[in-house]
Structure 1
Amino acid sequence: MKEGIHPAYRDVCFVDLSNGFKFVTRSCAQTKESIDMEDGRKLPLFKLETTSESHPFYTGTQKSVDALGGRVEKFRNKFARVGIKK
């Protein structure tokens, strides 16, 4: 492998702003803040809007449009009475 082309990975704490969920992983994300962890380490802090703990797809609260009838089906039901008159 070539020297000097790979990013400098380090432990970074990611925090979900919607529910406070924290996880630590190796990353090269640039941060301006830091956080003191429960085990005494001081890690860079990266704030996220959503994670797998709060995203509807992963939590099972996502609604599917097709399961609720779909757009075309809703349109046909709404305008079923208004048809072409012969």
Structure 2
Amino acid sequence: MPDARIKNEKQYQALLEIGYSKEKAARIANTPDAGEKGGHAKPYNEWSKAELYEQARIVGISGRSYMSKKNLIHSLRNN
């Protein structure tokens, strides 16, 4: 039964099948443009700290307000 809180149910189920936790799969599936492949986003190294902070907020990374730009990039890549 689909969960009404999940914005992209198909992506959520696919992430669960490959081993993501329910929490991480939900965060990714609920990110506005997470399901788009072949996007044209610039690499994190080229983002401003404010842009990285906002993305960290969207995906639910805790402790982001204390992180440096380098730590934000690391957390976004590994969470």
- TM-score for the superposition, normalised by structure 1: 0.20
Structure with a larger share of its residues in helix: 2
- TM-score for the superposition, normalised by structure 2: 0.21
Q: Which has the larger radius of gyration?
A: 1
Structure with a larger share of its residues in strand: 1
